[in-house]
């Protein structure tokens, strides 16, 4: 895979997301094969979202048609794996995919409303523990997964806010340097 494409899909983010899903699945249902399927779906949806985000980014160095093909591949692969999961997990996964599509299709609008952007990104992260519990059909762990989801949401929301602040400061510095 081309180095630019690896950067676009942010491979480390995808692996991290998939491993978090796998770890949660092993905690609530050790060695359940659906945990592996779940981790792969999280990996592919994360890659699809990252790649689609690049498609709508006007500053991309990669041919847009190539980026779109990769994004479609990742979303299609993740969606194909949904056939192995219980219906509640499938519905949540499709909802998250719709959130990712909303974020990317409305990229300019969402990007200009930082809290909305940060909420969408944080929600996608927060749904991982709930998705895992629904995927391995261990609904007795749903209350705990919701607590973990709230913690994930908080961390991710503030991480995104911090990145926004860093970007603004970098832009201010860049403008000063040009003068």
* Cα separation, 11 vs 94, whole angstroms: 22
Name the most confidently modeled range: 4-8, 69-73, 104-108, 162-166. 69-73
Judge whether 33 and 141 are in contact, CB under 8 Å.
Answer: no
Q: Residue 16's pLDDT band (boundaries 50, 70, 90)?
A: confident
pTM listed for this prediction: 0.83
Q: What pLDDT, on a 0 to 100 scale, did the predictor assign at position 42?
A: 94
Question: pLDDT tens digit string along 69-123?
Answer: 888 999 999 999 999 999 999 999 999 998 888 877 766 566 667 678 888 889 9
The predicted-structure confidence for 34-74, as pLDDT tens digits, reads as follows: 999 999 999 999 999 888 877 776 666 777 788 888 889 99
- List, as own/partner pairs, every contact residues 140-144 make where C-beta atoms lie below 8 angstroms and the sequence separation is at least 24, other chains included: 141/28
Of the CA atoms within 13 Å of residue 44, those in its CB half-sphere come to 20
Residue 150: which domain range? 3-178
Domain count, the chain: 1
């Amino acid at each position: 895979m081309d180095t630019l494409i690896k950067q676009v899909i942010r491979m480390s983010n995808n692996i991290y997301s998939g491993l978090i899903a796998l770890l949660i699945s092993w905690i609530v249902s050790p060695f359940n094969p659906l945990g592996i399927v779940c981790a792969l779906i999280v990996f592919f949806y994360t890659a699809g979202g990252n790649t689609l985000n690049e498609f709508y980014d006007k500053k991309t160095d990669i041919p847009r048609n190539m980026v779109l093909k990769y994004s479609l591949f990742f979303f299609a692969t993740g969606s194909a794996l949904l056939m192995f999961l219980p219906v509640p997990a499938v519905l949540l996964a499709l909802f998250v995919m719709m959130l990712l599509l909303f974020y990317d299709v409305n990229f300019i609008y969402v990007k200009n409303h930082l809290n909305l952007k940060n909420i969408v990104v944080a929600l996608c992260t927060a749904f991982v523990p709930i998705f895992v519990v629904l995927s391995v059909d261990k609904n007795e762990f749903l209350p705990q997964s919701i607590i973990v989801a709230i913690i994930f949401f908080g961390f991710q929301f503030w991480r995104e806010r911090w990145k926004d602040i860093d970007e603004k400061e970098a832009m201010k510095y860049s403008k000063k340097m040009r003068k």
